Amino acid sequence: MNSIKAQARELDQADPLAHKKSEFYLPEGVIYLDGNSLGALPHSARVRAKDVVDAQWGDGLITSWNQHGWIDLPHRVGSKLGKLLGAADGQLVCCDSISVNLFKLLSAALKMRPERHVIATTAENFPTDIYIAEGLIEQLGGKHELRLLEEQNLCEALTDDIAVLMITQVNFRTGLKQDMEAVTRLAHEKGILVIWDLAHSAGAFPVRLDASEADFAVGCTYKYLNGGPGAPAFVYVASRHQAEYIQPLSGWMGHAEPFAFSPHYRPAQGIRQNLSGTPGVIGMSILDAALEVFEDVPLTALREKSLALMRFFENCLEAHDIAGYLTPCYPEEQHRGSQLAFRHPDAYAICQAWIADGVIGDFRAPDILRIGFAPLYLSYADIEQAVSRLAAILNEQRYQDPVFQQKLHVT
């Protein structure tokens, strides 16, 4: 036990990202292992929130659309996101939610493959992705098929009747990470367009959209990107597709000349066509500031620390002698996102007991304890302390207390 604490100390001392923790506000006494649901609050975001409300809105009023560049905010944020996601400028823009953006991309992709009638995704995908495909198919009159592929046999299942493959890079339950480059290449060999959902990728490890020859992508910004609850999402359309791309949510912000108020829609050239209504300036400004914490972070170092934190978590389970209580359901290291998942029949109650003891993890139905590793604000000492408290809960069977049964909703 003492030796594992000493190990944590040594690892923290050698951690090249250790200084980033001070850029976040974390509540006293809380160890936060749910940054993959909602990232912690960066100080830069807190400062900007005050500025955008008090100074930009309060003092600047309508003139801030120009004076504080609100009108270009979706592009400025898109450009910052591009640096984290390996996308050259002009291919990413910040807008709407993942769900709404998927609707745009799926609609556009089907138009680009008019002779094909299958949308493929994995059965294990995050439900909203599947639901949006269902909604679109219903709207288009039912002439398309939604095909659910098995994650394990993904590559074999890519056949040339599929118009578009919509796939989340990291499984939200198990943390299994797909090889973006390999899957995209195989899909392209069959003439399939690929939409990547980067919800659990963005800000968790390096993503190489352009290098992987990705067609389309969406993602949210409130997880590893720390943009705040319900922060706006993003959408990526590779340059080579933009001339042909047409999406149906043709709102005025995506018009070639939004302020000409012309009576017919003419899409903007390039990625801006994806803007629909007026952007949510306050939330997007806070996100813009939150992204500043990444400016001096080498993404390879981020990935290394993420993997090291997960390895250390496993070591702590051994050191505290509780590995036997939990059934790991996550992949080998090279196939991991930045989370671990364990099955336990009482996973829900364990999660609640852990929260009561100051460690916020997450539960995913039916029986998964999900642990997120946000490398920018977690220390190795945090991990050791979290496992130590988990050991007490498991050894004393504290989770059997009925108080830990009441259901929470978390995203």
Residue numbers belonging to the annotated binding site for pyridoxal 5'-phosphate: 98-99, 126-129, 168, 197, 200, 222, 252, 278
| 149 touches a second copy (CB under 8 A) | no
Whichever of 164 and 319 has its CB closer to a second copy, that residue is: 164
- Among residues 96, 215, 288, 384, which is the contact residue for a second copy, using CB under 8 A? 96
| 388 touches a second copy (CB under 8 A) | no
Site track 293-332 with a second copy (rule: CB under 8 A), x = hit: ----------------------------------------
| 334 touches a second copy (CB under 8 A) | no
Q: Which residues ranging from 199 to 238 are in contact with a second copy (CB under 8 A)?
A: 220, 222, 228-233
| 256 touches a second copy (CB under 8 A) | no
Please tell me whether residue 225 adopts helix, strand or coil conformation: coil
Whichever of 184 and 276 has its CB closer to a second copy, that residue is: 276
| 69 touches a second copy (CB under 8 A) | no
* Listed ranges 11-19, 252-260, 293-301, 342-350: which one lies at the site for a second copy (CB under 8 A): 252-260
| 243 touches a second copy (CB under 8 A) | no
- Among residues 263, 324, 332, 334, which is the contact residue for a second copy, using CB under 8 A? 263
Q: CA torsion sign, 138 to 139 to 145 to 150? A: negative
Residues contributing to the annotated binding site: 98-99, 126-129, 168, 197, 200, 222, 252, 278
Contact 367, 3 (CB under 8 A): no
Residues ≥6 apart with Cβ < 8 Å to 310: 333, 336, 338, 340, 373
Region for residue 213 given its phi and psi (left: phi exceeds 0; alpha: psi -120 to 50; beta: otherwise): left
DSSP letters, 281-331, are HHHHHHHHHHGGGGTT--HHHHHHHHHHHHHHHHHHHHHTT-GGGSEE---
| 131 touches a second copy (CB under 8 A) | yes
CA distances to 102, 134, 251 from 158, rounded to whole Å, are 20, 20, 34
Please tell me whether residue 155 adopts helix, strand or coil conformation: helix
Minimum distance, C-beta of residue 265 to a second copy, in the bound complex (Å): 4
What are the tokens at 209? 């959209």
- Give CA–CA dist 411/394, Å, rounded: 25
What are the tokens at 87? 């996308």
| 71 touches a second copy (CB under 8 A) | yes
- Among residues 128, 239, 327, 385, which is the contact residue for a second copy, using CB under 8 A? 128
Task: Report the catalytic residues.
Answer: 126, 197, 222-223, 370
- Among residues 84, 94, 119, 136, which is the contact residue for a second copy, using CB under 8 A? 136
| 114 touches a second copy (CB under 8 A) | no
Residues ≥6 apart with Cβ < 8 Å to 81: 87, 92, 94, 202, 221, 225, 234, 291
Q: Which residues ranging from 20 to 49 are in contact with a second copy (CB under 8 A)?
A: 25, 27, 30, 32, 34, 37-38, 40-41, 45-46, 49
Minimum distance, C-beta of residue 362 to a second copy, in the bound complex (Å): 7
- Give CA–CA dist 334/14, Å, rounded: 22
- Among residues 77, 176, 271, 286, which is the contact residue for a second copy, using CB under 8 A? 286
Whichever of 16 and 229 has its CB closer to a second copy, that residue is: 229
Q: Which residues ranging from 49 to 68 are in contact with a second copy (CB under 8 A)?
A: 49-50, 53-54, 56-59, 61-66
Rg (alpha carbons) of the chain, rounded to whole number: 22
Helix axes 98-112, 127-139, angle to 10 degrees: 50
| 171 touches a second copy (CB under 8 A) | no
DSSP structural state of residue 215: -
